[in-house]
Amino acid sequence: MLENREGQRVPVVTFKTRQGDNWVDITTDELFSGKTVIVFALPGAFTPTCSSTHLPRYNELAEVFRQEGVDDIICISVNDTFVMNAWKADQEAENITVIPDGNGEFTEGMGMLVDKSELGFGKRSWRYSMLVKDGVIEKMFIEPQKPGDPFEVSDADTMLNYINPAATIPPSVAIFTKPGCPYCAKAKILLSEHGYRFEEIALGKDATIAGLRAVTGAETVPQVYIGGEYIGGSESLEAYLNKGKVA
């Protein structure tokens, strides 16, 4: 049975990290002392749920968490620092501090080290999240112990709902673009000026004309979606924003 450690201090561990060409030791004291920190732990970098949902949503909501008094969001996994750094870069997760618990010391100290040898993973972390204030665990969300890789309670939205159920979550925004397109550049500037964070889907890199046509019915860029609503090109976006519909 995985133990809920609310009210206890986090384990004292020194993490071996790689920053540029240098090895840098980071202690739990540096990470947690005097701070309000969200931690989410997961089985492994580059694994499906971790890459598609768990990390991206925390990265997306980072500014909302900051407005609620959170100083840092830390992702911990039993992976080495090179893997964690490569994953962060691949995910473009600039709002997340990735911490490699390569030897599993922190995870073991949390009582969350589990055996995934049947998958060839060896010892890994169970999936969980927690809110830590000045090194003391205030709240933990531990995934239920059942087969597979459950992902029900350690997500970013559950954590935000605990911190402030009334918090305003900005709409998700996506924009289809292509390199060198001046109208795309204009649309991105408009979104930024109105406080929208957006995901850019670049033709030739992230999508094709066929994909653009299938999703939007159009063959020109930019094409913008806000909160699931199809807005259209740069002129339509400008008209939408001028109606006062701002983030």
- The verdict on whether 50 is a catalytic residue reads yes
- 25: number of Cβ within 10 Å: 9
Task: Give a three-class secondary structure readout of the chain.
Answer: CCCCCCCCECCCCEEEEEECCEEEEEEHHHHHCCCEEEEEEECCCCCHHHHHHHHHHHHHCHHHHHHCCCCEEEEEECCCHHHHHHHHHHHCCCCCEEEECCCCHHHHHCCCEEECHHHCCCEEECCEEEEEECCEEEEEEECCCCCCCCCCCCCHHHHHHHHCCCCCCCCCEEEEECCCCHHHHHHHHHHHHCCCCCEEEEECCCECHHHHHHHHCCCCCCEEEECCEEEECHHHHHHHHHCCCCC
Catalytic residue among 50, 75, 181, 184: 50
237, 190 Cβ separation under 8 angstroms? yes
Which residues neighbour 219 within 8 Å (Cβ) at sequence distance 6 or greater? 209, 212, 213
Name the phi and psi angles at 53, rounded to 5: -135, -55
Active site residues: 50
